[in-house]
């Protein structure tokens, strides 16, 4: 009966084909480590947010006079409303945590490199969409930080030359953040997640075309790939279990950890909080904004701090395969970068006073400096590797890759890699 039904569907829709192609026969390198779990986790949190958000929207009122109270209505009167809201507010932070780890993994293992540039760029578009969605969602509770955060961020667009004021008014729908702003942010906050779902679809299509990278950064031969199902379905599910334990610990035992106390005060346009801080996931970028002593420059630097990631495939001129594993200089740079982002987050959270201003400026300088130094350093590293040769493990893997390529027309051909490799190998053998 089931077989017959599936047969009936298969005649009209490639169901079995899809399951085969995307799951049971989709090849994944068998040496992936647990850092490769976070893409799936991000997708899972997206669906948690969608689901909890739809239920919140059933009880929320996007009106300046009712928004704050409607949240308390959800927290107190709606059955398990507190659970839904805390899942959604914790989920927002978890989403960023997972996505940041996912991006850090991509940087460390060089997954942005050829042929995965489009995969990387669609990921960056996703990050921007996520940030926009989170920013708009944060206004909805209509607390003090919601209001003043939105006020500050929207006013940043006022630094645009000539059209600044018009753009700000267009964004807010009013001269100040008010009812028009709240209503449109609500509408867009409901819309954007579906755009994100579509963008995730594109991201996954791109992934399934080029396939996953792996810690070695060298394309493994066919027999070293194993089907996604059951190996990675079970691995992802186990990772999901660990993630859900952490997630639930926050939802049930520390939900207010992610909510700033100021946001439990209703928005008051007459009272400016002494110290306006964005959510933690915006802190590094906020620190960069404040570190530039010129308003327009700060805004440009803030946007550049994210957009510059898109240039990674060009900035990284190394021909050594993979990411940090076989690249000592690059590895140090990634570590410095991660520490620098933490420093920026700290600076962003504190009022800009005294030596913190200087630290913020130095950290901003280091942030962009690392990107701009990358072409030079990756070239140098390349030369050094040509002299010393790659580690035997890399050479062995690459020899296999070359053998396989010579036998098949694989679309992951990496001529440049092979060139370096053959040179490195000759040197390595001579020594």
Partner 1 sequence: MRRLVCILAAVAVWMTGVSSIQAAPNDAYPLAQIEVDNSMAARQRGAVIAIETCMMCHGFKYLRYQDLLDIGMSAEDVDNYRGDNGLLDRLESMTPIEVRKESYGKVPPDLTLMTIARKHGPEYVYTLLTSYYLDPEENEANHLFPGIRMPDAMGYSFTEPGSTERAEVERNVSDLVSFMVWASDPNAETRKTIGVWVILYLIVLTTLLYLVKRKIWRRVEKLKIENGTVKRP
Q: Which residues form the interface with partner 1 (CB under 8 A)?
A: 30-31, 69, 72, 75-76, 82-83, 86, 148, 151-152, 155, 158-159, 175-177, 220, 223-224, 226, 230-231, 234-235, 237-238, 241-242, 244-245, 248-249, 251-253, 255-256, 259, 261-262, 264-265, 269-272, 274, 289-295, 298, 352, 357, 392-393, 395-397, 400
List 20, 59, 73, 235, catalytic entry:
235
- Which lies closer to partner 1 via its Cβ, residue 274 or residue 430? 274
What DSSP designation does 266 have? B
Active-site residue among 262, 279, 381, 401? 279
Q: How far is the CB of 340 from partner 1 (least distance, A)?
A: 19
Burial of residue 270, with CB atoms counted within 10 A of its CB: 0-12 exposed, 13-18 middle, 19 or more buried: exposed
Q: Is the CB of 375 or the CB of 391 nearer to partner 1? A: 391
Cβ at position 40, least distance to partner 1 in Å: 14
Question: What is the 8-class DSSP label of residue 309?
Answer: G
Tokens of 342: 């933490």
Output 224 or 382, the one with its CB closest to partner 1: 224
Burial of 102 (0-12, 13-18, 19+ CB in 10 A): buried
Task: Determine phi and psi for 317, rounding to 5 degrees.
Answer: -100, 10
Q: Is 235 a catalytic residue?
A: yes
Backbone angles phi, psi at 27, to 5 degrees: -80, 135
Distance, CA of 87 to CA of 250 (rounded, Å): 9
CB of 70 to partner 1, least distance (A): 11
Residue 226 pairs with which residues in a beta bridge? 28
Assess whether 213 carries a catalytic annotation.
Answer: no
C-beta of 149 vs 193, nearer to partner 1? 149
- Strands (E) across 14-129 are located at 27-29
Residues with Cβ within 8 Å of 233's Cβ and at least 6 positions away in sequence, in order, are: 23
CA distances from 282 to 200, 359, 362 (A): 22, 18, 19
227, β-bridge pairs: 27
Max Cα separation, the chain?
78
C-alpha span between 202 and 325 (Å, rounded): 29
Residue closer to partner 1 by CB (options 54, 234) is: 234
Q: Least distance (Å) from partner 1 to the CB of residue 300?
A: 12
Q: Which is nearer to partner 1, 193 or 284 (CB)?
A: 284
For partner 1, the closer of residues 113 and 290 by Cβ is: 290
Name 225's bridge partners: 29
Output the CA torsion sign for 412, 413, 419, 421.
Answer: positive
């994944």: which residue's tokens? 28
Active-site annotation holder among 111, 212, 291, 318: 212
Choosing from 208, 229, 379, 423, which is the catalytic residue? Answer: 208
CA distances from 207 to 169, 301, 417 (A): 40, 30, 21
Query: CA neighbours within 13 Å on the CB side: how many for 387?
Result: 5
Catalytic residue among 236, 262, 316, 417: 236
Give me the least distance between CB of 414 and partner 1, in Å please: 18
By beta-carbon proximity to partner 1, the closer residue of 153 and 315 is 153
Indicate if 10 belongs to the active site.
Answer: no
The C-alpha angle with vertex 391 and arms to 385 and 396, in degrees rounded to 5, equals 120
275 tagged catalytic? no
C-alpha torsion angle, residues 204, 209, 213, 218 (rounded to 10): 180
Looking at 142-216, list the stretches that DSSP marks H as alpha helix, in order from N- to C-terminal side. Answer: 144-156, 164-172, 179-210
As measured in angstroms, the least distance from the Cβ of 101 to partner 1 is 19
429 is catalytic: no
Residue 366: CB minimum distance to partner 1, A? 17
Min dist CB 409 to partner 1, Å, is 22
Cα Rg, the chain, nearest whole Å: 24
Residues assigned a catalytic role? 208, 212, 235-236, 279
């Amino acid at each position: 009966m089931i077989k017959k039904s599936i047969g009936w569907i298969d005649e009209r829709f490639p169901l079995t084909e899809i399951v085969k192609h995307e799951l049971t026969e989709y090849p994944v390198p068998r040496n992936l480590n647990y850092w490769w779990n976070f893409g799936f986790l991000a997708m899972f949190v997206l669906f948690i947010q969608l689901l909890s958000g739809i239920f919140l929207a059933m009880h929320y009122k996007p009106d300046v006079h009712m928004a704050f109270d409607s949240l308390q209505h959800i927290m107190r009167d709606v059955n398990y409303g507190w659970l839904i809201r805390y899942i959604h507010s914790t989920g927002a932070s978890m989403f960023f945590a997972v996505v940041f780890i996912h991006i850090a993994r991509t940087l460390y293992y060089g997954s942005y490199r050829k042929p995965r540039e489009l995969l990387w760029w669609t990921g960056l578009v996703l990050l921007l969409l996520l940030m926009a969605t989170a920013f708009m969602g944060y206004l909805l509770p209509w607390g003090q930080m919601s209001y003043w955060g939105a006020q500050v961020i929207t006013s940043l667009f006022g630094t645009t030359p000539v059209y600044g004021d018009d753009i700000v008014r267009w964004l807010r729908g009013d001269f100040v953040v008010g009812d028009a702003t709240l209503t449109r942010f609500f509408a867009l906050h409901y819309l954007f997640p579906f755009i994100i779902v579509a963008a995730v679809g594109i991201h996954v299509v791109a992934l399934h075309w080029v396939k996953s990278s792996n810690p070695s950064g060298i394309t493994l031969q066919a027999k070293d790939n194993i089907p996604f199902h059951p190996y990675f379905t079970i691995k992802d599910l186990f990772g999901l279990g660990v993630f859900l334990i952490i997630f639930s610990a926050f939802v049930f035992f520390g939900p207010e950890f992610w909510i700033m106390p100021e946001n439990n005060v209703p928005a008051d346009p007459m009272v400016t909080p002494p110290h306006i801080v964005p959510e933690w996931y915006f802190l590094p970028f906020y620190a960069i904004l404040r570190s530039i002593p010129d308003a327009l420059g700060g805004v440009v630097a803030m946007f550049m701090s994210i957009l510059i990631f898109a240039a990674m495939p060009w900035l990284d001129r190394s021909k050594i395969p993979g990411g940090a594993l076989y690249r000592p200089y690059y590895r140090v740079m990634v570590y410095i970068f991660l520490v620098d982002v933490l420093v920026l987050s700290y600076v962003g959270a504190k009022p800009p006073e005294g030596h913190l201003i200087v630290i913020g400026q130095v950290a901003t300088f280091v942030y962009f400096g690392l990107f701009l130094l990358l072409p030079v350093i990756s070239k140098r590293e390349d030369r050094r590797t040509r002299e010393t040769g790659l580690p035997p493990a890399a050479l062995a893997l690459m020899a296999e890759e070359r053998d396989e390529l010579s036998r098949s027309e694989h679309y992951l051909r990496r001529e440049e890699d092979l060139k370096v490799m053959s040179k490195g190998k000759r040197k390595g053998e001579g020594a």
